[in-house]
Amino acid sequence: MKIQFLTSKNSWLNLNKKEQVKRYLKKCSKKIKIINNFKDIKKNNDILIILSYFKIIPENFLKRSKYNLVVHESDLPKGKGHSPLFWQILKGKNKVTFTLFEASKNVDSGKYYLKKDFFFKKNYLYDEIKNCQFEFSLSLILKFLKNFKSSKKIKSYIQKGKSTFYKKRVKESSELNIRKSLIKQFNLLRIVNNEGHPAFFNFKGNKYIIKIFKEKK
């Protein structure tokens, strides 16, 4: 089984979990290559796995692989678009549906193979959330790979229902409202990236940066 794993060079996954990805996928195949540019997709792949990749892949490149797997943290077609996991946690949701689906020319619109719920603890912060996201996404992909390897029939399903969309989160999305309590804004503090887009507030012409950590016991 020939597998390529496509992720953006500056993604959290590529910077923190690259070696772990290799260890996971070697359970199913020794022919694994991690790439950071869709132009490096080889022809006649069995499977292309696409996680944390920030560009749209042209259809002619998707045709190079038998399957093009993507994991999206929403119950598609609900919650298409950017950062669905963080938007849902911000709204107070802790049960999040993960969808394993086939990449297509229309973003987040391909047939899906598997849907499964994950429950996040209410006190998890950014890195804990990202770790859970990574582990659970890989577990769905591994399940698919094992079925493919054993020559089981791969079932796919058409997305049904009304599509909804999440917009892209930007630096300004991490701003705290000084007129609201921290309790009411705790979910925002949970999803801010201390290094990339830390929480902040403006007061009397100054910008104040807040970084959140759990005290080690």
pLDDT, averaged in runs of 10, over the chain (217 residues): 93 90 84 93 94 94 96 98 96 97 95 97 96 96 91 91 95 96 96 94 96 89
Give the model's pLDDT for residue 150: 83
Rounded alpha-carbon distances, angstroms, from residue 121 to 124, 198, 215: 6, 21, 17
Rounded alpha-carbon distances, angstroms, from residue 210 to 89, 189, 191, 200: 19, 9, 13, 5
- pTM to 2 decimal places: 0.93
Q: Which fold has domain 2-166?
A: Rossmann fold (3.40.50)
Name the pairing type of β-strands 112-119 and 31-35.
unpaired
Distance CA 26, CA 49 (A): 14
**Is 108 within 8 Å of 56 (Cβ atoms)?**
no
Helix and strand totals (H; E) in the chain: 6, 10
Largest CA distance in the chain: 65
Domain ranges (residues) in the chain: 2-166, 171-210
pLDDT one-digit tens code per residue, 122-150:
999 999 999 999 999 999 999 999 999 88
Rounded alpha-carbon distances, angstroms, from residue 131 to 112, 138, 178: 23, 11, 30
